[in-house]
Amino acid sequence: MTPPAKPAESDTAMIVVMKGTATARETGAVLQSIEGLGFRPHISSGEERTVIGIIGSERKVDPSAFEGLAGVERVIPILKPYKLASREFKQEDTVVEVRGRRIGGRSIVVMAGPCAVESREQVQETAKRVRAAGATVLRGGAYKPRTSPYAFQGMGRPGLEILREAADANDLAVVTEIISVQDIPAMVEFADILQIGARNMQNFNLLEEVGRAGKPVLLKRGMMSTLEELLLSAEYILSTGNYNVILCERGIRTFEKFTRNTYDVSAVPVLKKLSHLPVICDPSHAAGDRDLVPALARAGVAAGADGLIIEVHPNPAVAKCDGAQSLTPDQFDALMKEVGAIARCIGRSV
């Protein structure tokens, strides 16, 4: 699948920076002017001032159309091909709130659970253990996109019900992967965060429809995708008006054979520099080997990641999916202590 085309030179992409003293009436007048020109404004309200994004490809608009409006401090063109995801649009870090959890703040969020939902007992046991260790989000796949059509494909809707039940019993939020537009109603009913997997990072129709669903979205980097392509995929979701997007580095495919994927830890500081969106790491899929997961998790936190998503199974030897990279609950307990120690060294907490 080809990456999204970059905006043409004639595209309109700019931000209107309002003065700190701008009134609601003045801001409303600017919004009305933008809509009058046929554009949809994208609003970012910071602690000190409001920024309004104007993005479209229909025609070019002269910045002077807004520079003279009351309350406007300045108009700045956005040069990056990813507009709403860029630091040019929003300087402050975005914090995604999910059931009282803040993803992107000073606290590092840990999402943990099995690769796939296999039974109620398996998920309940895992949820209880990961919550006791400090995780606040339960991960688990009800629908599994597998390379082989003969591999376990997940339990479907019953799996979603099991995840929700276990999460509610242990005060956890739920993140689970969506692989089809037709599954959106069920996902919205049971999940708190909708995950777009690596294989679907450039499934643009799915990105737009998930964006319109209004739930926070966890967007994984494609296994052969650049960081710019990841940010452009995030742009599809942001352009729907859903600004609750979490980026995930999960390793990329290279010539190296000793790991399942090559863990690009440098992606964390690069993404934090280019974008205001929170970034988490998936060391489980990067490693493919549970013995490597703790080291990669520690590296992600040290590099500035806002969270981790870790596979944990009560008995990995009998797991129907990715048992080799799943930690046991005891191993997860030990990892959480290590991650907490690193977080404290860099002024954060878990």
Condensed to tens digits (0 to 9), the pLDDT of residues 187-220 reads 999 999 999 999 999 999 999 999 999 999 999 9
88 in any annotated domain: no
**Quick one: DSSP state of residue 143?**
S
Domain that holds residue 125: 96-345
Looking at the DSSP bridge assignments, the partners of residue 176 are 194
pLDDT band of residue 222 (cuts 50, 70, 90) is: very high
> What pLDDT is stored for residue 59 in this prediction?
63
87/73 Cα distance (integer angstroms)? 18
Residue 267 DSSP one-character state: H
* Contact present, 138 and 172 (Cβ < 8 Å): yes
The residue-averaged pLDDT of 98-104 equals 93
**Residue 6 predicted with pLDDT over 50:** no
Q: Is the pLDDT of residue 346 over 90?
A: yes
Residues 143 and 194 in one domain: yes
242 shares a domain with 102: yes
Mean of pLDDT values over 140-165: 83
39 with 108, same domain?
A: no
* 269 within a domain of the structure (yes/no): yes
Read off the CATH number of the domain in which 236 is found.
Answer: 3.20.20.70
Residues 49, 129 share a domain: no
Which CATH number covers residue 21? 3.30.70.1140
